[in-house]
């Protein structure tokens, strides 16, 4: 595949990568092969994380050999010039490990150091969210914001309170008391 940075070619590649991630994640989900290891920062990593990122990297190296790659599991560099793909093979590894289907694969493309295109692949839900200049879509359907203008009508969704610092939890409480609904969890799906 020739190197061509048109938005159409990048989106086609992104869709192919999302399909690969979906297939690998579904193979490993709720399987005995998902026994985790612990990374240096104390967070879990599974063989599915490694398999997905490895497959996505191989795909990118064939499709866009001159693009940079920065991944959660295998690292890389964040070059301010050109194109850099940023990969999180499983956002929500704890959910994945415990059989919760609300984990996803995150893929972003930076162009000259700025976000250009991004995607959230939800393997177990069969949903692909894509955001780019001009809008966001889920499986080809255009998304929009709710239109609610008042904070008292807002829905606030965040990670587990266990992830907050003391000051972060206080800030969350200060904001949450003004919103209509508060929910926790959901990883990238939220």
pLDDT of residue 106: 98
Q: pLDDT tens digit string along 112-167? A: 999 999 999 999 999 999 999 889 999 989 999 888 899 999 999 888 878 889 99
40 belongs to a structural domain = yes
Number of domains forming the structure of the chain:
2
User: 100 with 21, same domain?
Assistant: yes
Range in 55-59, 89-93, 99-103, 160-164 with the lowest mean pLDDT: 160-164
Give the model's pLDDT for residue 39: 86
- Banded model confidence at residue 3, pLDDT cuts 50, 70, 90: very low
Do 78 and 170 fall within a single domain?
Answer: no
74 and 18 part of one domain: yes
Three-state SS string over the chain comes to: CCCCCCHHHHHHHHHHHHHHHHHHHHHHCCCHHHCCEECCCCCEECHHHHHHHHHHHHHHHHHCCCCEEEECCCEECCCCCCEEEEEEEEECHHHHHCCCCCCEEEEEEEECCEEEEEEEEECCCCEEEEEECCEEEECCEECCCCCCCCHHHCEEEECCHHHCCHHHHHHHHHHHCCCCEEEECCHHHC
131 shares its domain with 173: no
128 and 156 housed in the same domain = no
Model pLDDT, residue 33:
63
Q: Does a structural domain hold residue 1?
A: no
**Residue ranges making up the domain that contains 168:** 151-189
Q: What is the CATH number of the domain that holds 29?
A: 3.30.540.10
For residue 55, what pLDDT is reported?
98
Both 69 and 109 in one domain: the answer is yes
Tell me: do 44 and 11 sit in the same domain. Answer: yes
């Amino acid at each position: 595949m020739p190197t061509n940075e048109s938005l159409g070619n990048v989106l086609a590649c992104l869709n192919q990568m999302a399909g690969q991630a979906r297939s690998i994640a579904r193979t490993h989900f709720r399987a005995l092969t998902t026994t985790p290891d612990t990374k240096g920062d104390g967070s879990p990593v599974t063989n599915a994380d490694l398999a997905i990122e490895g497959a996505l990297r191989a795909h990118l190296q064939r499709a866009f050999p001159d693009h940079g790659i920065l991944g959660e599991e295998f690292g890389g560099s964040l070059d301010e010039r050109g194109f850099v793909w940023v990969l999180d093979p499983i956002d929500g590894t704890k959910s994945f490990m415990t059989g919760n289907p609300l984990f996803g694969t995150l893929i972003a493309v930076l162009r000259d150091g700025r976000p250009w295109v991004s995607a959230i692949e939800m393997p177990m839900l069969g949903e692909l969210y894509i955001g780019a200049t001009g809008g966001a879509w889920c499986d080809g359907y255009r998304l929009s914001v709710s239109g609610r203008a008042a904070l008292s009508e807002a829905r606030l969704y965040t990670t587990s309170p266990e992830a907050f610092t003391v000051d972060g939890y206080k800030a969350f409480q200060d904001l949450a008391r003004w919103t209509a609904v508060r929910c926790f969890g959901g990883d990238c799906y939220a």
